[in-house]
Structure 1
Amino acid sequence: MAQRLLVVEDSKAIAKVIEQLAKALGFEVTVAYNLAEVESLLQGGASFFAATVDYALPDATDGEAIACVLSHGIQAVVLTGKMDELTRQKILSQPVIDYIPKENSQAFLYLKRILHWQRTNQENGILVVDDSLSARNHIVELLKRRNFSVYVASDGVKALEVLEQHPDIKMVITDLEMPNMDGIELTNEIRKRYTRDRLAVIGISGASNGIHSARFIKNGADDFLRKPFCPEEFYCRITQNIENLNNIKQIQRAANTDYLTDLPNRRAFIQFSQSKIPQYVEQNTAFCLAMLDIDYFKKINDTYGHEAGDNVLKMVALYMRKHLPGAMIARLGGEEFAVLLTGVDDDQLYARLDDLRRELSLAQLSYENHQISLTVSIGVVFNSDDKLAAQMNAADQALYNAKENGRNQIVVSGQED
């Protein structure tokens, strides 16, 4: 069900712009053009995830609509054409998400970012570390306005324990002066355990000595804030660091994902397998590495066209996900796939691969008005403690033998004869 956004705006043109960008984010939008309409909606029991509120309305010229919306427990972003300091302070004295001056088109792009993060910030955990309860509660309150999942610790030692317990934490905000382990020591310990692309650290301090910001950065922090800080700067720095982490995650995903099938690519398969196979060997876990190739794939492309071939690759990927849950499945290139699979024993692993092979041989893959049949050949090596490259070569040779022996079959490395 779509979340509902209340747009309070007397300008129909601006209301339309906000409505369009909110709908693009998946919101269901209700527009109110004055305070009377807002009161009527809210008194009638309408509920909203959030609201954008124009500071000055025809029947509420001094921000009265803000208090009305907030009194109903609705998070609010304030848009204002007034830029004076008194108005700014009046807005920020209330628990609003943020305020945005209506200066130019950038205002609406910023609003879109805020609304996007309000919907998704719950996925981002932030740990607040401060021995002062009041300071800790202040930061927690600011973060909860932005819908972050918030955790707390009173010193660095407890913070490390919380980090181990909650892998969804993406950021640590730590004070400098704390007992047991201070913020600098904590930052240093964090960087021994978590890389910058996994966890961001923001140091804070009320000390007037400017050297502390440099000390935090040199010990692995990503940013620094001096107390007391204004909410605007706080939110800008938090959002920027969270966005940086998500941008890195998207880049990493693009670098490790096959663009066509959305499976991991060769690079991701090799990195994963090099990490996991030694663990399987050490723990005596039954596993196999298999190479799978679509038989006569060139004929499919020649007969039905390359778009049909692309569709076949996508469907084969879907079948592999369905029949091999929990396996590492990758497209190596062209029509060749790789699988790293664990199980109870060799017989079970073989049976799972053969079930996949059989299901694909019986399938009729639809493309436009065509029903496309196909088979696959599989080469597999079981429980090898050889290096990954040697295992992949062995499985590839077994795959070649499966092709030579008539296709649509599994050949186990070392049992070709």
Structure 2
Amino acid sequence: MNDESDQALPRVLIIDDSRMVRASIIRHVRDRFEVREEADGEAGWQTLMVDPTIQAVITDIGMPHLDGYGLLERIRKSRISRINTLPVVVISGDDEPDVRVKAKSAGATDFISKSIGNVELLARLEALTQLARTQRDLEESRAALATVSPTDPASGLATPSYLHYHAAQELSLAHRRHGDLSVMVIEIDQFDNLIARYGAHVAQLVNRKLSKILATKLRQEDTVAELAPARFVIVSPATNMDGACAFAMRLRTAIDHIVMTYREERIRIQITIGLAAAEPGRTQTVSHLIGVAMQRIAVGRAEGGNRVMGAKGEVTPEMASVPVRAPVSIDQYLLQLRTAGLDPGLRKQLPDAIRTLLPLLELIESEFPSGLPLATLARVAETGLVGAAPKGE
């Protein structure tokens, strides 16, 4: 750890068009604070944008180019958290109540007159900079926690960092077992137009609605995260491109039927989906698969949106009409088999159980050749006809 940085004085930005006023304030605080100074609000704003070490602002009201009220508005509306949370002290020779109220309503943290005493000025600045440091430490702690937490508290979905970590494990497992894995990126069409027409609040509600739908449509083994507003990614282990296409078409159809109402106006959601799948025998990364899916979304967006885009272009209902069976939980299957025996329901699921186990059986056969009837089992898994398979091979 750097001792010099630990002992550095907190930095304050003083903005006033009077050189004498700036010099007076600097003389009062220079033993406790490091100071930067600017002569107008516009120059002060530019300094805030480039200097992340500033912990508090002291600003005049009446200044050229950009007055104190305009500067306050920019600070509080900034999308940069270190700026919009800065303590701002308005200092003015005019101590009229209406000026004080206007400064406070514009976002001022404190209001002091230019005749304030040295001791009081230092006490207020120290309290405000300490508050700023505490808030910054809290934000950094929250950000660090978000990177290790598997769940985004706002959406209830997986965090992007956890999705990449977990998906990398699943992809490595699929490579080792010659299994399948697919990636699906989903984008809400015309999201910018939605914001422009209805406002950010309504657009956020639409975004949240889609995240809830995705959470209810997925299998337990799938992982979904929100990469950015209006863009989601789903990683599905044990799912090839055909299965991903079928699921994507069902999802798009479900979204097409959803209608939201805002101020008696009906809002429909449309999505474009890009798909990518791991290729056997080829080393790939999760980031690469997501990138491929996003490239396919870009093509679908250019063609008008509301499309599912796969390796060969747009996926049509006919291409995704082959039913795709989801993998069976083997643990659950064995538990039911032990408790209820091979009842009709379990017998019906037997082809799906075989299909789920096939990668493991292939691995066992490759490591310990024993003549397992893999071809027969593969046909059973593919056709679903248990009784059609010969007893031996």
TM range (shorter): 0.3 to 0.5
Relative contact order, CA 8 A, sep 6+: which one is greater?
Answer: 2
TM-score by length of 1: 0.39
Q: Max radius of gyration: which structure?
A: 2
User: Larger % of strand: which?
Assistant: 1
